[in-house]
Amino acid sequence: MAIPGKFTNAAADGSYTFGSLPMDATFYARITATGYVATYAGPSILEGNMYNIIYPMLTAAEMNTFGVTAGNGIYCLCGC
């Protein structure tokens, strides 16, 4: 469920900050960028301030190298 007003835009270098999220809450993120397949991340549990969380983004062509066909996705634990 999306929480109204809880979104952010990345800086030119790709960095981002989510502010005012409740501690010890579980959240999911949808990350989008022009030219990339949307990344859906979570569940993540906030345990205080968290830094350097990297969400890999892949193009459709890169998804094909994993054998993923259009309309499907990939589950990645390894940092792709």
**How far apart, in whole angstroms, are the C-alpha atoms of residue 57 and residue 79?**
10
Per-residue pLDDT of the chain (80 residues; tens, 9 = 90+): 566 667 788 888 878 887 777 777 788 888 888 998 888 888 888 777 777 777 888 888 888 887 777 777 666 655 44
Structural domain boundaries of the chain?
Answer: 1-80
- HSE at residue 8, side-chain half, CA atoms within 13 A, is 12
Q: Is the whole model's pTM more than 0.85, yes or no?
A: no
**How far apart, in whole angstroms, are the C-alpha atoms of residue 44 and residue 46?**
6
With left for phi above 0 and alpha for psi between -120 and 50, is residue 49 left, alpha or beta? beta
